[in-house]
Amino acid sequence: MPIYKGSTEVASGNLYKGSTEIQDGYKATDSFYVNEISISFLNFPGTASYVLTGAPGATIPGSRSVSWTETAPGGSAYNGTQTATGVPAGFAFAGGSQGSISNTTTSPNVNFISSVFPNNSTSVDYNTLTVSLPTTAVVSYSYTFTGGLARSTSCTAFSGSACTVSSNSSSSGAFAYFTANASGTGGGGLNGCNQSCSVSISSSGGSSSCNQNGGTASQGATMAMASIPTYAVGNPTGWQSVIYCATVNSGAASSICRGYSVEMNSPPSNTWSGGYTATDGGSCPAAPSAEIGSGNILPWRLVGRDLNGTASGTWEGRIKSSGTGAVQASDSTST
């Protein structure tokens, strides 16, 4: 409640009796003046108690919350809704991380909701709160895969929950993909780079067979290069544009098993360099008759230009497997 001298409000810190600053003024039991109020955070674990002070209605500077860290008992993790009772009006509780077997610590917090000081001092004391931070035991389940993709393995989960185990895997190799799933419970790998089996378990001691199944199909690759006249800005005489077309014959270039790279060897440096792109699906159409504008007439793309013989010679291109380094397709052209 403000106090006035005439029509002028007396600001906090400016009301005195003699040389003594007045903190609070009352008429009988009714407050008519508050110099400063406080917001206190008391006795939280691992955190020093602190007090915010300011005039009623003033913006609260700095942090309006306190957080603390708790550690779950050995062999368990935090799991379940975290709550606190006894939180005073004006404050709010928020739970920390939970729900994963990796949550062996959690950091809940209590904050003062408003961004301005209230009209009356207030506090929150950890010792008066009842905080619930549920935990669940973390258990390990074992499983055995037999057959061609045999493997003894295990997984961890909250007690009473399931987790997933996988067999060994078989690779289709570079620029190839599987045409069937692995043979066995939870077999997978169709149209992918690897075959394996995956099983969800909630106890130990289970077993099943898993084997590679069926063959693979080639994704294939095509590389074509061409040298064509340049008709760019200014229509320069004697310029040649070198273009390339690199395609993957089956599937998306981004899904090439074991990865790929497109490389060029260009004069006059005559060193191989990467960073070029392949196009999804199909073979290369006939090269355009000339470069007009940007140089890219997809799926053909610009490599570079021979400007009046400054880069004359043989230009080479190739598609390689990133996994094996084997060249899948190559071509060259001359300027």
Phi, psi of 43 (to 5 degrees): 65, 30
Return the sign of the alpha-carbon dihedral for residues 163, 168, 173, 176. negative
Instruction: For residues 250 and 306, give the distance between their C-alpha atoms in angstroms, rounded to a whole number.
Output: 33
Instruction: For residues 286 and 50, give the distance between their C-alpha atoms in angstroms, rounded to a whole number.
Output: 77
Instruction: For residues 155 and 140, give the distance between their C-alpha atoms in angstroms, rounded to a whole number.
Output: 6
Average of per-residue pLDDT across 256-263: 90
Q: Is the pLDDT of residue 42 over 60?
A: yes
Phi-psi region of 151 (alpha: psi -120 to 50; beta: other; left: phi over 0): beta
The mean predicted confidence, pLDDT, of the chain is: 88
Long-range Cβ pairs for the range 306-312 (8 Å, 24+): 306/227, 306/239, 306/240, 306/242, 306/267, 306/335, 307/236, 307/238, 307/239, 308/236, 308/237, 308/238, 308/239, 309/238, 310/268, 311/266, 311/267, 311/268, 311/335, 312/267
Q: What dihedral angle (degrees, nearest 10) is formed by the CA atoms of 176, 179, 181, 183?
A: -100
Residues shown for the chain: 335
pTM of the model: 0.67
The 3-state DSSP class for residue 254 equals helix
Instruction: For residues 148 and 134, give the distance between their C-alpha atoms in angstroms, rounded to a whole number.
Output: 43
Phi-psi region of 249 (alpha: psi -120 to 50; beta: other; left: phi over 0): alpha
Average of per-residue pLDDT across 172-186: 92
Instruction: For residues 329 and 320, give the distance between their C-alpha atoms in angstroms, rounded to a whole number.
Output: 7
pLDDT of residue 174: 87
Return the sign of the alpha-carbon dihedral for residues 150, 152, 155, 159. positive
pLDDT tens-digit readout, 46-66? 999 999 999 999 999 888 999
Task: Give percent of the chain with pLDDT exceeding 90.
Answer: 61
The 3-state DSSP class for residue 54 equals strand
pLDDT band at 284 (very low <50, low <70, confident <90, very high): confident
pLDDT band at 214 (very low <50, low <70, confident <90, very high): confident
pLDDT tens-digit readout, 309-325? 889 999 999 999 988 89
DSSP per-residue codes, 112-151: E--SB--SS-EEEEGGG-EEE--EEEEEEEEEEEESTT-E
